[in-house]
Structure 1
Amino acid sequence: MKLKYWIYAARVYTLPLSFSGITLSYLISLSRTNVNFTVYVLCIVTALLLQILANFSNDYGDSITGVDNFRRVGPKRTIQCGFISLSEMKKAIYIFSILSFFSAFLLFYNTIKNIFIFFIYIIGISMCVFSSIKYSIGPNPYGYTVGMGDLFVFIFFGIFSVEGSYFLYTHTLSMDMFFISFSIGFLSVGVLNVNNMRDLDNDYENGKHTIAVWLGIKYAKLYHVFIILTSIFFGGYFIFLNQKTVYQWFFFIFIVVLLILHIKRIIYMKNKKLFNSELKKLAVLTFLYGFSIGISFIN
């Protein structure tokens, strides 16, 4: 059955990233005001559709450019292995583009009453759909340009995910939410950086200029340490601004210890195949990080 190949192409292990910021924002919103659970569900559905769209587009784009080949260290891709054809994947990209936009439109229509803000969000979701595709597809995919992939991941998985959903939940903007959005954003960039360190040699040979390629493995690891520690700083500062009980610090420190252990493994890692497991662990840790901070705010 082809269903298992489509599930594989969706890269299930990356999906926690798509709703880490949304869940964190929802839990914090619950501690401050009444929030409609349906809004949270629609946010989750939209985020998942966008993430799957991005993963399908990446499979399609990297296959066309030759980045996905049998020399790469990472998991084999469905088009690369012949499980899904280029035409089938192209149709799936169109379908998930429409579904993502429709889901977001339904979300905004039911939550935003101000017509000006509504159109701002429509522009925002259009950018999200376009960026999900353009990361790997087109004459100049931005994921192949130094730093652009990291920047867009930071914006969409951090600021848009946390602060954007917070406004949909509460109809207000909060300065302190920017700090925690930076924290989630940096962790998401960390997941991308692990991916890029794993594929560094193959990306270099095929003209994909990620920060890891630009820095080399030694300095890419130092960059990774900076990303994770900066995320921890912003997360700790957010809790400092909003501290209510000691449990907030307990949950935070527990996840931070796991993140420090992750950094240690990355620093001493020599076999690039081991980056696969660290990528999956960091994606899950990012969700647990956001969830633990958020749940600690619920009275």
Structure 2
Amino acid sequence: MKLKHWIYAARIHTLPLSFSGITLSYLISKSRTNECITTSYILCIITALLLQILANFSNDYGDSITGVDNIKRIGPKRTIQRGLISLSEMKKAIFILSILSFLSGVTLLYNSIKNIFIFFLYFIGIFICIYSSIKYSIGDYPYGHKVGMGDLFVMICFGFFSVGGSSFLYTHTLCMDMFFLSLSIGFLNVGVLNVNNMRDLENDYESGKYTMAVWLGIKYAKLYHVFIILFSIFFGGYFIFLNQKNTYQWLFFIFISILLIFHIRKIILIKEKKLFNLELKKLVILTFLYVFSIGL
């Protein structure tokens, strides 16, 4: 049955990342404005999910073309690699998702923005997000194969656009504390990418994919990961401090932070590359819980 292959290609376990930042900014914005922002939130979720699936399909297609997906790869086998979906079918799906992402994004902007200049800026932002989703792995010079570029774009799209960008759509105001929150969620998402890249370090190097993990080597990639997670915790805690949250929220945040510290310890001690798969899934779940530790 083809449908289950497409669901597998969508990588369901990664999808919470696409709406974590959006949900966090929604929870905070809802407490700061009297306006009804639920419609904007729903449209944000739909657009983000479409973009995330677009990125996953593009990664499946691009890594198959470049040879990154091969028998030496430790991560889950992709649909094209396994012969479940053809290159032509995936190419059509990428085109359809690009159109759907664009239409969903424009509908979101039409519903949320009245100022023509700001509408135009966000309109350009939609194209940047679609381009980023596709070009991470596809093309003659995919930016995901260049040192640090994947990490940078994840910070921009899953941090600044996801948290700060959606917050402005909800409230039509810019708040400095949301910048710190964008950094916090952005670093967690970069952490997920880094775990993925540490797992596939050797195969990526042989395939000419030079991620931060490849450039740093496994020892310093783990140290890089430690700083990523600690910076995330710091900026999240600073946001709570600025907003004088109650004791219960501090306790929830500290509890999730402790789990993140345990995650760091696991990453440092890992010797067998396959174990990175489990930590990757854990970090996705912790990122989602982290949202509620700050937003509720």
TM-score for both structures, normalised by structure 2: 0.99
Q: Residue 119 of structure 2 corresponds to which residue in structure 1?
A: 118
CA shift at 1:155, angstroms?
Answer: 0.6
Residue type matched to 1:27 in 2?
L
Tell me whether 1:79 sits opposite 2:65 in the alignment. no
Match in the other structure for 2:147: 146
Which residue of the partner structure matches residue 168 of structure 2? 167
SS in 1 for 2:57: helix
**For 1:261 and 1:244, how far apart are their aligned partners in 2?**
25
Deviation at 1:248, TM superposition (A): 2.0
Tell which has more relative contact order, 1 or 2 (C-alpha 8 A, sep 6+): 1
Note the C-alpha offset of 1:284: 1.3
Cα distance in 2 between the residues matched to 1:197 and 1:36: 39
Asked whether the 8 Å contact 1:46–1:103 carries over to 2, the reply is yes
Aligned-pair CA distance for 1:36: 2.0
Q: Which residue of 2 aligns with 1:257?
A: 258
Distance in 2 between residues matched to 1:203 and 1:170, nearest whole Å: 42
Checking the alignment, whether the CA contact within 8 Å between 1:60 and 1:79 is kept in structure 2 is yes
Shift, 1:291, TM fit: 2.0
Residue number in structure 1 paired with 2:14: 14
> Residue 41 of structure 1 aligns to a residue in which SS?
helix
C-alpha separation in 2, matches of 1:20 and 1:122: 22
Note the residue ranges of structure 1 that are not aligned, 5 or more in a row: none
CA deviation profile, 1:55-110 (whole Å, cap 9, x unmatched): 00000000000000011000000000000000000000000000001001000001
RMSD: 0.6
Overall identity of the aligned pairs, in % = 79
Distance 2:155 2:133 in 1: 13
Residue in structure 2 matched with residue 98 of structure 1 by the alignment: 99
Aligned to 2:129: 128
Q: Which residue of the partner structure matches residue 243 of structure 2? A: 242
Q: CA deviation at 1:244?
A: 3.2
Mapped to 1, the partners of 2:37 and 2:186 lie a distance apart of: 25
User: Cα deviation per residue 1:218-241 (whole Å; 9 max; x = unaligned)?
Assistant: 110000001000111100111110
- For residues 106-165 of structure 1, the C-alpha deviation after alignment (integer angstroms, 9 at most, x for no partner) is 000011000010010000010000110000000100000000000000010001000000
Residues 182 and 234 of structure 1 are in contact (CA less than 8 Å); yes or no, is this contact kept in structure 2?
yes
Q: Secondary structure at the match of 2:81?
A: helix
How many residue pairs get matched?
295
1:147-226, aligned counterparts within 5 Å?
147-226=148-227
8 Å CA contact 1:20, 1:291 repeated in 2: no
Structure 1 counterpart of 2:30: 30
Deviates further, 36-45 or 50-59: 36-45
Deviation at 1:30, TM superposition (A): 1.1
SS at match of 2:80: helix
In the other structure, the counterpart of 2:41 is: 40
Partner of 1:167: helix, strand, or coil?
helix
In 1, Cα distance between the equivalents of 2:18 and 2:245?
A: 28
* Cα distance in 2, alignment partners of residues 143 and 243 from structure 1: 39
- 8 Å Cα contact 1:61-1:136 kept in structure 2: yes
2-structure distance, mates of 1:97, 1:159? 21
- Greater CA drift, 58-67 or 236-245: 236-245
Q: Counterparts of 2:57 and 2:116 in 1: how far apart (Å)?
A: 33
Whole-Å Cα distance in 1 between the matches of residues 227 and 158 of structure 2?
A: 18
Q: Give distance in 2, aligned partners of 1:133 and 1:205.
A: 23
Contact 1:10 1:52 in 2 (8 A): yes
User: Separation in 2 of the partners of 1:245 and 1:226?
Assistant: 27
Q: What is the CA-CA distance between 1:33 and the residue it aligns to?
A: 1.0
* 2:102 paired with 1:137: no
CA distance in 2, matches of 1:11, 1:290: 21
Tell me, yes or no, if structure 1 residue 107 matches structure 2 residue 95.
no
SS at match of 2:76: coil
Structure 1 residue runs of 4+, over 6 Å off?
A: none
| Whole-angstrom CA distance in 2 between matches of 1:51 and 1:280 | 16
The 8 Å contact of residues 46 and 100 in structure 1, kept in 2 or not, is answered as yes
In the TM superposition, what whole-angstrom CA distance separates every residue of 1:180-215 from its partner, at most 9, and x where no partner exists? 110000000000000000000000000000010011
AA partner of residue 75 (structure 1): P
Unaligned 5+ runs, structure 2: none
Distance in 1, matches of 2:288 and 2:122, equals 24
